[in-house]
Amino acid sequence: MYEAIEGNLRRTWLLFAGFVLVVVALGYLFGELTGFGYAGAAVAAVLAVAGAWGSYYYSDRIVLSISGAREAPRELYQYLYNATEGLAIAAGVPVPRLYLIEDSAPNAFATGRDPQHAVIVVTTGLLDKLDRLELEGVLAHEMAHVQNYDIRLATIAAVLVGMVALMSDWLLRSMRWGRRRGSRGGGSAQGALVLAGIVLAVLAPLLAQLMRLALSRRREYLADASGAMLTRYPEGLAGALEKISADPEPLEAANKATAHLYIINPLREWGGWANGLFNTHPPVEDRVQRLRAM
């Protein structure tokens, strides 16, 4: 299991490096094609980071508001607090704030920019339909996301995807404005730059999104393994995943912006190898099999 966790971490940072390379390539081409050189790339990066700053610090509030979540009263959900506090001690992180979504569909997610500002959100359906060990398994999975800084990494990945989309759009617009003035190269060199810019501008957003989804799937595997280590009972989480995925109730609060956060995607995901590239979560069957093999 430790080898699997190490492998997931290694592949995650390789994907993250891929994000950076795509952003750097787009920034370079943008600067070359607009005539601003490196200054054009710097301006694009500054604007993207400025927009990202607000989302980084306020993303948890936005997600909670969109989801219709409210803080869980301790006097009504004492066991939920006790289980979460015990898992936080085991994980060595501050106790996250606990929020509830009034919905009969069982599901849960974690958000926040770091363990000191983390929030775990569960639906009332999760509390009603899971037994004690299954609920602990789900809470441990979400605690693992907090412990492993997945909540921060997910925010950074989303920012990078937005950066790629913004710079791709600027690249395409800059090519509509015509050739840049004062080109250093000849016509063939400029033509090659334009062609490279078109190809990268069209493919980069798709590539960035695929990398973000692959990153999300890897972190789910890691959170499953880390959560099972916290409870020392993989079957609890395995049973919970089966119950949540088999539940027919639709989660009314979910949408495309928040679906990737949940322990099981509440929206429809696609089967097959090619379609699976666009899924936010790995197949439940694979996750359960890995847990039961621990």
Which of the listed residues 215, 244, 266 is the one where a domain comes to its end?
215
The set of residues, in sequence order, having a beta carbon less than 8 Å from that of 161 and lying 6+ positions away, is 19, 205, 208, 209, 212
**Which structure tokens are listed for 231?**
């409870």
Q: Is the confidence at residue 125, as pLDDT, over 80?
A: yes
What separation in angstroms does the CA of 30 have from each of 40, 86, 165, 223, 248? 7, 51, 13, 38, 48
Q: Is the confidence at residue 240, as pLDDT, over 90?
A: yes
What integer best gives the mean pLDDT of the chain?
A: 78
* Mean pLDDT calculated for residue range 28-36: 67
Position 253 scores a pLDDT of 83
Position 208 scores a pLDDT of 65
Same domain flag for 160 and 253 = no
Q: Is the confidence at residue 181, as pLDDT, over 60?
A: no
Position 232 scores a pLDDT of 94
Position 130 scores a pLDDT of 97
Instruction: Using DSSP, state whether 108 is helix, strand or coil.
Output: strand
Q: Is the confidence at residue 261, as pLDDT, over 80?
A: yes
pLDDT in tens, 57-80: 777 788 888 889 999 999 999 999
Same domain flag for 82 and 56 = no
* Ramachandran angles phi, psi of 175, nearest 5°: -75, -25
Of 15 and 179, the one with more pLDDT? 15
Position 61 scores a pLDDT of 85
What is the domain-level CATH number for residue 119?
A: 3.30.2010.10
Position 72 scores a pLDDT of 96
CB 263 within 8 A of CB 287: no
Q: Which residue has the tokens 């009504």?
A: 76
Position 109 scores a pLDDT of 93
Position 151 scores a pLDDT of 77
What separation in angstroms does the CA of 136 have from each of 121, 207, 246, 275? 13, 36, 19, 32
70 within some domain: no
Catalytic status, residue 142: yes
Which residue in 102, 142, 220, 235 is the catalytic one? 142
**Which structure tokens are listed for 265?**
């995607």
Same domain flag for 11 and 145 = no
Q: Where are the beta strands (DSSP E) in the chain?
A: 70-71, 97-101, 108-111, 119-123
240 within some domain: yes
179 within some domain: yes
25-29, 118-122, 180-184, 191-195: which has the highest mean pLDDT? Answer: 118-122
Which of the listed residues 215, 233, 260 is the one where a domain comes to its end?
215
Q: Where are the beta strands (DSSP E) in 124-173?
A: none
Q: Which of 48-52, 129-133, 144-148 has the lowest mean pLDDT?
A: 48-52
* Mean pLDDT calculated for residue range 1-14: 59
What is the pLDDT confidence band of residue 150, given thresholds at 50, 70 and 90? confident
Of 82 and 170, the one with more pLDDT? 82
* Ramachandran angles phi, psi of 105, nearest 5°: -75, 130
Q: Is the confidence at residue 264, as pLDDT, over 70?
A: yes
Same domain flag for 118 and 236 = yes
Alpha helices in 35-98 (DSSP H): 38-67, 78-91
* Mean pLDDT calculated for residue range 190-211: 65
Position 188 scores a pLDDT of 59
Same domain flag for 196 and 209 = yes
Same domain flag for 167 and 144 = no
Same domain flag for 278 and 160 = no
Same domain flag for 95 and 128 = yes
Q: Which of 55-69, 84-98, 121-135, 266-280 has the lowest mean pLDDT?
A: 266-280
What is the pLDDT confidence band of residue 159, given thresholds at 50, 70 and 90? low
Same domain flag for 156 and 27 = yes
Same domain flag for 10 and 145 = no
Q: Which of 19-33, 128-142, 257-271 has the lowest mean pLDDT?
A: 19-33
Query: For strand 119-123 and strand 97-101, is the pairing parallel, antiparallel, or unpaired?
Result: parallel
**Which structure tokens are listed for 251?**
């989660």
Domains of the chain: total: 2
Position 180 scores a pLDDT of 45
Q: Is the confidence at residue 247, as pLDDT, over 90?
A: yes
Q: Is the confidence at residue 94, as pLDDT, over 90?
A: yes
Same domain flag for 145 and 238 = yes
- Give me the domain span that covers residue 240: 75-149+216-292
